[in-house]
Structure 1
Amino acid sequence: MKKSIVLKCVFILILYHMVKEVNTLNFFGLDTLTIDLPQGRVRGSFDLFRTQRMFLGIPYATVTERFQVAGSPPTWNGTFTANQGNVVCNQYFSTLRQPIGQEDCLVLNIYTPPSRTNELYPVIVFIHGGGFYFGSNSKLIYNPQFLVRENVIVVTINYRLGAFGFLCLGIREAPGNVGLKDQLAALKWIQNNIAYFGGDPNSVTVFGESAGAVSIHYFLLTNSTEGLFHRAIMDSGSVLMPQDFKYNPIESASTVATRLGYNTLDPNELLNIFRNSTASDIVEASYADQTNDAFSLYYFTPCMETAVANESDPLITEEPTQIIKRPGLNVSVIIGFNDREGIYWAQHYNYQTVEQVRANFGSLIPNYLQFESDVNRTTFIDDAINIYFSNWTVIDGLIEYFSDSLVFYPSTVASESLTMNSSRSVYNFYFDYDSFRNLNKFLTRLRFTPGACHADELFYLFQPAVYAALPATPNDAAIIATMTALWTSFAKTGIPSTSTTTWTPSNQQLEFLEIGNEIQMIPLPNQQRMEFWRQTYEKYGRK
């Protein structure tokens, strides 16, 4: 009896020390959770099983004025308790049907191995997706414990979204793209501060998914980012993604202003409207029903800044179809996509017949195409209908069409351009693994559709809270082990590899590492359909 009581007490004592998040010293008496930064002292914590140190919610910049480049990071006296891992920028939370978030939201979360070493750890900086209108660096979703156990540091960042990050009016007071410049501010902060946490500022890999990958592609194609990162990983995104660039940003702003009760196209009037409206009202006005229109929420995205008077530091000065031709930074790149990306967008459509699709096809045409005549437009629609809706159900046709037009083709063009314009190594992947961990798909109404949806690959690299108590199946564990080994070996050496996997970089012909039930090199998937898009782009692509 006494022995049982003693064992219970020992267990409770051990558990207490495992979860204790204050005044934790390592074996040698060194406090590894308190960091002295130029901003002030920061105190972090261990996770439950002491597998990583966490410094959550550290501000890297300050929002001093709406629609403007962020200011310097704040300073403080005393100790900043870095335990707020779920700060959110202003956005609409559709599940609760209400706006959430805050304007001064520029924080980052830092996760490190549990102990310091004499050598600095390589750093992976993750930029979340979400169409530039939703998402965050939340620990509940992007817990990088799988990556950190491979002895890297992972930093996840927030950036302003929607109108707050991408109101683009062609005037100095609202130049656009400040959300992208938030990301650059975070990368600069990391260069200046990551060594305090044991990270190597000379070994930084940027890793983005969807809008995060689009952002990274812009950074790759401008020399102003040189030295901020040394390798790049782009999951399911490129600057050519049609939903993630605005050719007519003032019209989009005017549409949202109309919902706020104003009717104008004048940039200065629009500025006053957005300045004087509450954050919640702006977020509410930017939300729309996506039924039969998956792109109704993409009002504020990256734009051209060339029209901005006296803008000293424009980031995007050309359209994506021109930017993509630049040689860009000479850094190694991983770029790829999932086999059924389009599930994410197709879920919003309830068309039952091909005739319904044809009648509404105008809203499905990607904006990197521009037709000089109605005849050309009709020809494209006829060809697309024939390819995607002759042999598939309507919903499967939409899935394949969105996969190709929104992700596969834009990413393929990006990969080819990156391969041709530099001596960099470019590694392509094709993720087609399907299991219960394909979380993004299971959140859609098409959850039982086979394949890997947009963003599903992330949940084999991060551990969302929903899976924390569910042990991975043997097959899932094998995919997690393979992907984390590939991603982290790339972050360490620039060459993604494991003891059993050889990933060949692409040369003249694109080759892909298939990540699924088989791990093997394959040629470009869906080559005939990609050739259709290539020919279409040559005929009708924006010049």
Structure 2
Amino acid sequence: MKCGKRIVLFTLFAMNLVDQPAPEVTIEQGILSGKISTDGSFFEYVGIPYATTNSSTRFKAPLPPPKWKGVFKAVDEFYQCPQNTPLGVLGVEDCLKINVYVPAQAKRPLPIMVYIHGGAFIMGNGGKTIVGPHFLVKHDVILVSFNYRLGALGFLCLGIKEAPGNAGLKDQVAALRWIQKNIAAFGGDPDNVTIFGTSAGGTSVSLLVASDATNGLFKRAIVHSGSSLTNWAINYNPVSVASSIVSMLGYDTKEPEKLYELYSKLSYKDLVLASAHIPIPQLMVQNGLLLPCVEKTFPGVESVLSDLPYNLLTNKPKNIPLMYSSTDREGLFFIDQETEETLHQCNKRTLFGEDLIFASKDEENKLSRKVKEYYFGKEQISEKNIMKLSDLYTHLNFEVPMILEAEKMARTIDAPVYSYYFTYSGGRNFVKVATTRYPNEKGACHGDDLLYIFNSLVWPYRVNDKDKIIIDRLTTMLTNFAKYGNPTPNDLPLKWAPHSKDQLNFLYFGDEMKMGSVPNPDTYQLWKDIYIKHRKTTVD
């Protein structure tokens, strides 16, 4: 009898060490199997190819996904697109994989939440390192995440048919089309899809909202810490940036055809390493990132962005429920690697991005001096007042573009538009604690809201009681929005009012939750006035 009990106990123990298979699913490509989560609450189908790409199709839209015979084991979650890491360049060129997490017991069909990862368009992936599904799927939604091409492989834009631009965005469109074709097989409702993303992923969501290519692919959208109206959303001179990157490898040309020949021959590792020594904030400041672009039109080539996002949102807005958010201390991440030299350069240059246009250099310099005086008074930018620089980065790069986009959409469409302002500082503000010199600053850094949405492998610490309240509130509101288009259908813990056409309403999300008006109204008005007068609305 004792021996039998030992066998049963050992069997139960061993079962927890071996992945248990999830129900098989038949999609267009064939049959696939996944695994059951360790707690048994959901099914995981990870590493499914949703499209293909290789060196012969670099810089173009992806090819259709492969088909297979037999059963594809969708259990390998360690795919990512080539990028620089502390361990060197990791990733593979054929990296277009999608992950589907399905609640085991929920009633079908289920709403879908599709997450687009961030990383300045040069890093990141859709895996559980960040995008852990537990917090969301317990609210009876299917979570989908995926990889898309990054850096030169995803965003080389040369204005020629061989490299028209936005391959990474076209990957995102391909993923959404795959979801439309296949998600019903997992128990999902293809007519109830919400896309959401953070940072470059949030900007991607905003760009997809603006794009004609995504009509009918999603019903709602959530934009975290990004905007298609921010100065780093669009590359206004992509050929120049492409030339600058290969110049770091010893090549000197500005001819699109010659650049294409170079980029085609270089290994993906060389392409990744060309600018890997420059911190992301400095790449942003120096216009050194390959970003989404406005595409030229070529016969037989589908474009994602046929015009500037501002024009697309003005002329052909999608009438769908929208949600926007930013954190109150976004800029902490972007001052972390400032040095005496970079701060000195801040004093010598104007503060504006390429999305503004001026009648003359004198006009630009005069307005830049006015903005510097607003933030720094008569002082030079230095380590002494670096928190003021953090505020500038917060407002210019994230907070104000988000507000301006939300305001524009609220006045243009009939569907509700919501905004929240995340200020909570707790035990899961991992960006501020792990990657900046300012872990004890109040508020939430760029990306600090992520771990209140996802249970991430990057932060294995136990969730404390206070953080659990924030997680429950935030994920309940996000999933309510995905289900109903309303984050507080039951008025709990408060009624979250959307913007009206003449009133901006913000949910302040901190230790307590409250409704309020626009954050930092004087700063908002300063930048709004600048953009009304100087926003660039055409591309050469």
The interval holding the TM-score normalised by the smaller chain is over 0.9
SS at match of 2:192: strand
Corresponding residue of 2:475 = 484
Corresponding residue of 1:155 = 144
Displacement of 1:9 after TM fit? 5.4
Q: Structure 2: state its 5+ residue gaps.
A: none
Distance (whole Å) between structure 1 residues aligned to residue 36 and residue 441 of structure 2: 39
Corresponding residue of 1:28 = none
Distance (whole Å) between structure 2 residues aligned to residue 334 and residue 213 of structure 1: 11
CA offsets per residue over residues 352-407 of structure 1, 9 Å max, x none?
A: 998x3653333x42222222223222222222222212399421111100000000
Corresponding residue of 1:376 = 363
Displacement of 1:213 after TM fit? 1.6
- Residues 457 and 299 of structure 1, relative CA distance in 2, 3 Å threshold: same
Q: TM-score, normalised by structure 2?
A: 0.93
Corresponding residue of 2:442 = 450
Corresponding residue of 2:506 = 512
- Residues 322 and 333 of structure 1, relative CA distance in 2, 3 Å threshold: same
Asked if the contact 1:327–1:418 (Cα under 8 Å) also holds between the matched residues in 2, the reply is no
SS at match of 1:303: coil
The reply to whether residue 41 of structure 1 matches residue 15 of structure 2 is: no
- Residues 401 and 530 of structure 1, relative CA distance in 2, 3 Å threshold: same
Q: Structure 1: state its 5+ residue gaps.
A: 25-31
Aligned CA-pair RMSD: 2.2
Displacement of 1:293 after TM fit? 2.3
CA offsets per residue over residues 423-468 of structure 1, 9 Å max, x none?
A: 0100100000002211112222222322211111111010111434
Corresponding residue of 1:365 = 352
CA offsets per residue over residues 461-497 of structure 1, 9 Å max, x none?
A: 10111434x3211110000000110011111111101
- Residues 298 and 503 of structure 1, relative CA distance in 2, 3 Å threshold: farther
- Residues 358 and 238 of structure 1, relative CA distance in 2, 3 Å threshold: closer
SS at match of 2:89: strand
In structure 2, which of residues 243, 253, 257 is the aligned counterpart of residue 264 of structure 1?
A: 253
Q: How many residues align?
A: 526
Corresponding residue of 1:90 = 82
In structure 2, which of residues 185, 189, 195 is the aligned counterpart of residue 196 of structure 1?
A: 185
CA offsets per residue over residues 197-226 of structure 1, 9 Å max, x none?
A: 111111111011111121221221233312
Displacement of 1:12 after TM fit? 3.9
Corresponding residue of 1:20 = 18
- Residues 51 and 274 of structure 1, relative CA distance in 2, 3 Å threshold: same
Asked if the contact 1:351–1:394 (Cα under 8 Å) also holds between the matched residues in 2, the reply is no
Identity of aligned residues (%): 34
Asked if the contact 1:366–1:405 (Cα under 8 Å) also holds between the matched residues in 2, the reply is no
Q: Which moved more, 1:207-216 or 1:267-276?
A: 207-216
Displacement of 1:323 after TM fit? 3.0
Distance (whole Å) between structure 1 residues aligned to residue 15 and residue 287 of structure 2: 46
Corresponding residue of 2:495 = 502
CA offsets per residue over residues 64-121 of structure 1, 9 Å max, x none?
A: 411111111101122211111121101111x23x21111110001111112364x211
Corresponding residue of 2:243 = 254
Distance (whole Å) between structure 1 residues aligned to residue 373 and residue 419 of structure 2: 29
Asked if the contact 2:173–2:213 (Cα under 8 Å) also holds between the matched residues in 1, the reply is no
The reply to whether residue 340 of structure 1 matches residue 329 of structure 2 is: yes
Asked if the contact 1:221–1:326 (Cα under 8 Å) also holds between the matched residues in 2, the reply is no
Corresponding residue of 1:540 = 534
Distance (whole Å) between structure 1 residues aligned to residue 348 and residue 188 of structure 2: 51
Displacement of 1:516 after TM fit? 0.7
CA offsets per residue over residues 28-55 of structure 1, 9 Å max, x none?
A: xxxx421122212211011211122111
Q: TM-score, normalised by structure 1?
A: 0.92
Displacement of 1:289 after TM fit? 2.0
Corresponding residue of 2:374 = 387
The reply to whether residue 529 of structure 1 matches residue 518 of structure 2 is: no
SS at match of 1:125: strand
Corresponding residue of 2:456 = 464
The reply to whether residue 67 of structure 1 matches residue 62 of structure 2 is: no
- Residues 298 and 50 of structure 1, relative CA distance in 2, 3 Å threshold: farther
Distance (whole Å) between structure 1 residues aligned to residue 40 and residue 449 of structure 2: 26
SS at match of 1:132: coil
- Residues 297 and 384 of structure 1, relative CA distance in 2, 3 Å threshold: closer
Q: Which amino acid aligns with 2:335?
A: A
